[in-house]
Each structure stands twice: as structure tokens, then as C-alpha cells.
Amino acid sequence: MNAGELIKQAKASLVAANERFGYKGGEEDQAWDLLIHAWGQEPGYDDLVPPRVRQRFKRLVARRAKGEPMAYIVGWIDFRDFRLAIKPGVFVPRATSEFLAEQAIRRLRARRAPVHLDLATGIGPVAVASARSLPHARVLGLDLSRRALSLARMNAAALGLGNLTFMKSDLFSGAPRSLRGLVDVVTIHPPYVAAGELGSLVEEIREYEPRQTLTDGSEDGLGLVRRVAEEGVDWIRPGGWLLIEVTPSEFRAIRTLLKSAGYTDIRSTHGSMRYTRVITGRL
């Protein structure tokens, strides 16, 4: 059996899986990624696939069809113009967060020696994007997960980023005290799903990604956002920004929180993908 025939067979299973998860399209690309991962090389359409590779490929397709995220299966995810290593047990970055990174980079670019704190950084997509785009910036990625931070450090090293540091921290608590009042931009894509709404998430997310990366356990899902808004006042310099990626429905509640904490220029912004919003607030 050649590669093209194998891809056609797999595509039907992947179409059914993606429909179950609420996605449309991309099945052929997924199938090719899985075949490349199984074979360790990129085959041509007419290349004959060895039996051992076919068996491994079918096992990978079965994992995806059951709901396991593609990123966990192949061990990587693309974000902007770079690739990040990833393993099960950490949050899978979304393409929507590319807009969060863009918003941060735009605000940092014109500053002479900008400082960027990325909270709940996970494997570091936003922090890495900022550090790559702004070599003159000091970027810190903070997270509680040792597993995520290990991958983040590995990703930064693989990309040769000397201006990026990852630290274990509960929001701002582990950040260097010398940065208090000097941070230009704080970013966060918080776990904002209300505790009682986890069951409504698609199986791919609900059954595979760590619970603590999806919800902070609060009734409305905004427990961490409240803390960031309040604590950020002590860390962000005058004229600096807080950028929060959340679902669009949370804008009014977050706007109220930011106003109460003293932020101005509060807006709900979005990129080409409108599934989430980046809420912006300035001190």
C-alpha cells in the first residue's frame, strides 16, 4: 500500500473524530503529520509504506480518533513562525493566543528596554514569540507547573533565546522583586472555565488536558483574573499594559474588575479568529 492510499483510509476516521469535537477540515494534513511521525521521514504520495510503519500509523490514527490531541501524539505544535515541543500533561496552546502575542509585541516594540511578564506561560508560546520578536526585551515566563516549565526551557534553548527566563511562580509571587513597578506588559491566558462548566468542554480537551489549565476552580472562572488585576497594579509601570485572553462573554465582568483596580483604556480586541478576546487595560 502506498502513502496516498493509506492517507485516504485514515482520513475517514479523522473526519468522524473532528466532527465529534466540533472541528471542520484539516483531516488530510493531520493524516500526513501522523504518517511522517510514524515513519520518521516525509514520504511521497506513491511511496510504498513498510508494514511496520503502517501498523504504527494505524495506532496513531486510532489515538487521534479517540480524542487525544494531535500535539500530544506528534510531540510538537506550531505557533506563529516556530515549533514548540510538547508532551501530555500540559496545556495545548491555541492559535488564538497568537493574537495575544501580537498585542504584547506591538506595545513593547517602541520601548527602549521593555520588560514582559507572561503569567501561566505553560510551554511558553507567548513568551517565546515576544523574546524572538524583541531581542532587546527582557521576557519572563511564570508558571506553577514544573512539567510545563521544563518544556518551556527546552523550547527556549532550542530556539537560542538568551533574553527569556522561565520561573516557577504562582502568578507574580516568584517574580524578581526588582521588577515591581517596572513591567511594561503583563500577559495571561488564564484557565477561565467556570468549575461547573467543565463538562461542557469537548472530549478532546476535557479528557486529556490537565484540569488546572482549564479552570481555577472558581464559580465564575475569574478567580485568577481578579488576582492578576489587583496584584498587577504593583508590578506594571505607569503607562504599562495588562492583556488577558478570555472568552468574549467575560468582557463586561472583566471590564468592571479592571476599572475597580484603576486600569484605563479597557477594550475587548480580537484578531482573525474570534473565539477569544484579548481584554486590554492600561495603568
99 CB neighbour count, 10 Å cutoff: 20
Q: Are 241 and 281 in contact (CB under 8 A)?
A: yes
The predicted model scores a pTM of 0.92
Cα 259 to chain centroid, rounded = 27
pLDDT value of residue 135:
96
248-to-30, 62, 103, 252 alpha-carbon distances in Å: 29, 34, 16, 9
Domains of the chain by start residue, with CATH: 3-67 (no CATH), 89-282 (3.40.50.150)
What single-letter amino acid sits at 8?
K
CB 146 within 8 A of CB 125: no
CA gap 174, 165 in Å, rounded: 12
- Whether 255 and 279 have beta carbons less than 8 Å apart is answered as yes
SS3 assignment for 197-215: HHHHCCHHHHCCCCHHHCE
Place of cell 468592571: 256
- Which pLDDT score is estimated for 18? 76
Contact 283/229 with Cβ under 8 angstroms?
no
The pLDDT of residue 3 is 94
Name the strand (E) or helix (H) holding 240.
Answer: strand 236-246
Cβ atoms < 10 Å from Cβ of 204: 22
Predicted confidence at residue 272, as pLDDT, reads 84
pLDDT of 16 reads 79
Distance CA(8)–CA(11), nearest Å, equals: 5
DSSP 181: T
Q: List, run by run, the mean pLDDT of 10-residue segments along the chain (283 residues).
A: 91 81 80 95 92 95 91 96 96 95 96 96 98 97 97 97 97 96 97 87 86 89 95 97 94 96 96 89 97
- CA–CA dist 17, 21 (Å, integer): 6
Q: What is the model's pLDDT at position 147?
A: 96
**Cα dihedral across residues 16, 20, 21, 25: positive or negative:** positive
pLDDT at 206: 87
Quote the pLDDT of residue 74: 96
Q: Tell me if residue 182 falls in helix, strand or coil.
A: coil
Which letter does DSSP use for residue 48 in this model?
A: B
